[in-house]
Structure 1
Amino acid sequence: MLRALFYKEWIKLRWPFLILGILGLASLVQAGLTLRYLVAMKEVGELWEGLIIKQQMPYASHLVFPQFCGLVLGIFQWFPETHKRRLRLMLHLPLREGLVVLVVVATGLFLTLSLALAHGFGLALLYGLRFPGEIVTALAWAWAPSMLAGLALYCGTAMVLMETAWWRRIAGALLVVGFYRMLTAGGPPAAYAEALGSYGLLTLCLVIMLFLPVMRAKRGGSL
């Protein structure tokens, strides 16, 4: 039954996943062309000054990809399940409600994280071929909060779609937007290094909050 549930979610998300994968590949191609242009047009000293001293990040525009993945997969996965309160049908499967939601959420998070990791690895490989490890490390520190922001957007999208009370939708959306703004506030690449563990725990709390609508439904309350 668990395998069938996972397969159902995969069937639902396979086309968005494939399209996002193509977009991620296009992003990497653009990043490679941009990097090639910078290396060809700028002198070595100017390029290194921008990357190391001024902390300029030519890859910054590509870091929104994990966030876009979380938003899109959250919509495509949860809108069909919550449209006209169809979530109740899923909760009538011969499995515990918490286990059903865990499998569905884990599938969405896994696919979001897979796309983010593949894209981040591609960026690291592009910059690692031309620059030393310090630049790649800075890229990784800049990518990590963007990845957490993508997971947060997935949770926020699912939360808003699962709730039916408008005040809970608004409260959940404000919570996620506030957390998202914290993760994308900008700054030097390593600005989130010390607090990254705390941000990771807060992201986990958002995942746990997705079980609240199911608990209310199990007690007989409204979704």
Structure 2
Amino acid sequence: MQALLYKEYIKTRAAYALLAALLWGICIYLSLNVHRIAGIKGAAHLWEVAISRDAIFVQWLKFVPLIAGILAGVAQFVPEMVQKRLKLTLHLPCSCTASAGTMLTYGAAALSAIYAVDFLILNIALGKVFAEEIVSRILMTALPWHLAGVTAYLLTAWVILEPAWKVRVFNMGISALLIRLFFLSDTPEAYNRFIPILAITAAVTASFPFISVDRFKAGRE
């Protein structure tokens, strides 16, 4: 398993470094923009906007974790299919489930670590301008976006690892519907009560790639 983890690291380190730079760069930019406005108009103005207009100041981040999740899945699993590596991986001296699980765990963990730093940056930077309640509202609003990113990564793996194109198209349709659940409302904190449901949805989709792996091993076309 250590060898497989190292292989995944070598294969994806550049992609994850770029995704981290993109996400963290956007978070830093948005935070600096808030500080710039606070310096010009005062923190009181931002507080008023946040409270009276339900502004969260990080709208630009909305679809970035989703895109990052898709790109992470593409970077990790397209080479497996295009270069015929998956067949070799599945013949390692361990079960197919263990091999696929190791790959998916690595990717989901790496992506989650990047997302965690997003929240750390925003929490520290915005905490210097806003009260804890406002910062919490911003972070809770952004949480479904990041859960969507992890879900998108798992669904991308499901689609790419599927050996039959007709089934891939079907999987894409199901994936689009599932991802849509994370973006049904633009209202801040609209998903607070549904965070557990979204987390369960993400957890359930973790099982989907194993279906594709089983079909691949069985030679389905």
What TM-score comes out, normalization by structure 1 length? 0.91
1:128 CA drift (Å): 0.8
2:132 alignment partner in structure 1: 133
- Aligned pairs for 1:74-113 within 5 A: 74-83=73-82, 85-113=84-112
Structure 1: gaps of 5 or more residues? none
1:161 CA drift (Å): 1.0
2:161 alignment partner in structure 1: 162
Distance 2:37 2:138 in 1: 17
1:114 CA drift (Å): 0.7
Distance 1:43 1:98 in 2: 55
| 2:63 paired with 1:64 | yes
Superposed CA offset, 1:135-161 (max 9, x none): 111112112101111012111211121
1:40 CA drift (Å): 2.8
| 2:47 paired with 1:41 | no
Distance 1:155 1:196 in 2: 18
Distance 2:113 2:42 in 1: 36
Distance 2:20 2:208 in 1: 28
Structure 2: gaps of 5 or more residues? none
Superposed CA offset, 1:15-73 (max 9, x none): 11112222233213311321022213335554223212221121121243322321121
Using a 3 Å threshold, how does the CA distance of structure 1 residues 178 and 12 change in structure 2: closer, same or farther?
same
- Aligned pairs for 1:1-223 within 5 A: 2-42=1-41, 44-83=43-82, 85-218=84-217, 220-222=218-220
Distance 1:166 1:52 in 2: 49
Check conservation: 1:70, 1:154, Cα contact below 8 A: yes
- Most deviating of 139-148 and 64-73: 64-73
One-letter amino acid of the counterpart of residue 191, structure 1: A
1:84 CA drift (Å): 5.3
Check conservation: 2:24, 2:117, Cα contact below 8 A: no
Distance 1:3 1:16 in 2: 20
Distance 1:114 1:202 in 2: 19
Instruction: Give the length in aligned residue pairs.
Output: 221
Check conservation: 1:21, 1:115, Cα contact below 8 A: yes
Distance 1:195 1:209 in 2: 22
Structure 1 segments of 4+ aligned residues over 6 angstroms from their partners: none
Superposed CA offset, 1:199-222 (max 9, x none): 11111111101100222344x342
In structure 1, the residue corresponding to 2:130 is in which secondary structure?
coil
Distance 2:123 2:204 in 1: 29
Check conservation: 2:162, 2:215, Cα contact below 8 A: no
1:106 CA drift (Å): 0.3
One-letter amino acid of the counterpart of residue 87, structure 2: R
Superposed CA offset, 1:146-203 (max 9, x none): 1111012111211121112222111211111112122123322211111111111111
